[in-house]
């Protein structure tokens, strides 16, 4: 599923810190595991719409709701942590907002866009959480694709040599 290295990198990019260790690690790892299991599960209602009721019967909808609620709560905590850190650093710096440019992560950038309203559109908390989740899952998908490409290149040395010479 997800490798620890991949989780570390994706967490650092999307959330600004690792969530693979510490107090939230078990909850986060459980959410990821359940999320990936649900992503590969076949939902018959996606293919035959008049059988969508089956997802309620077999418990898939309940599991999807549970994981969605878990991610929502987790991302609420992440955003609130960043808001609290930004507020405390603003107090330390005599009213200058949050972290300096070198230490800002994706969540900090989104929160500053929300606060300054320079994006040209309303950036509410739900949108921020959706963007964070997109970056996190996109990072994991990219890693999986690179993993697959490298394994295919190793299986086909002629193609790898051709790529190396270009």
Which whole-number Å values give the CA distances from 152 to 40, 41, 68, 139, 163, in the listed order? Answer: 22, 25, 34, 20, 13
d(CA 16, CA 85): 12
Residue listed under structure tokens 């599991």:
63
d(CA 147, CA 104): 29
CB atoms within 10 A of CB 67: 20
pTM summary value: 0.67
d(CA 35, CA 39): 6
Residue listed under structure tokens 């986060």:
28
d(CA 44, CA 22): 38
d(CA 108, CA 76): 14
Residue ranges per domain, the chain? 4-165
Helix, strand or coil, per DSSP, at residue 105: coil
pLDDT in tens, the chain (166 residues): 445 555 566 677 666 666 655 666 777 778 888 887 888 888 888 888 998 888 888 888 999 999 999 989 988 988 898 888 876 765 565 444 445 556 677 888 888 888 887 767 778 888 888 888 888 777 666 767 788 888 888 999 999 899 888 7
Phi, psi of 102 (to 5 degrees): -75, -25
């Amino acid at each position: 599923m997800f490798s620890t290295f991949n989780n570390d990198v994706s967490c650092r990019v999307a959330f600004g810190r690792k969530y693979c260790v510490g107090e939230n690690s078990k909850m986060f790892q459980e959410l990821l595991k359940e999320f990936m299991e649900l992503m590969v599960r076949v939902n018959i209602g996606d293919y035959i719409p008049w059988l969508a009721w089956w997802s309620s019967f077999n418990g898939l909808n309940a599991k999807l709701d549970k994981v969605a609620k878990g991610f929502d709560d987790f991302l609420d905590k992440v955003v609130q942590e960043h808001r609290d850190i930004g507020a405390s650093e603003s107090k330390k710096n005599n009213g200058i907002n949050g972290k300096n440019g070198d230490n800002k992560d994706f969540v900090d950038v989104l929160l500053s866009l929300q606060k300054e309203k320079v994006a040209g559109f309303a950036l509410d908390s739900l949108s921020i959480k959706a963007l964070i989740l997109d970056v996190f899952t996109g990072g994991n998908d990219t890693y999986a694709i690179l993993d697959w490409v490298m394994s295919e290149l190793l299986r086909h040395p002629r193609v790898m040599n051709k790529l190396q010479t270009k």
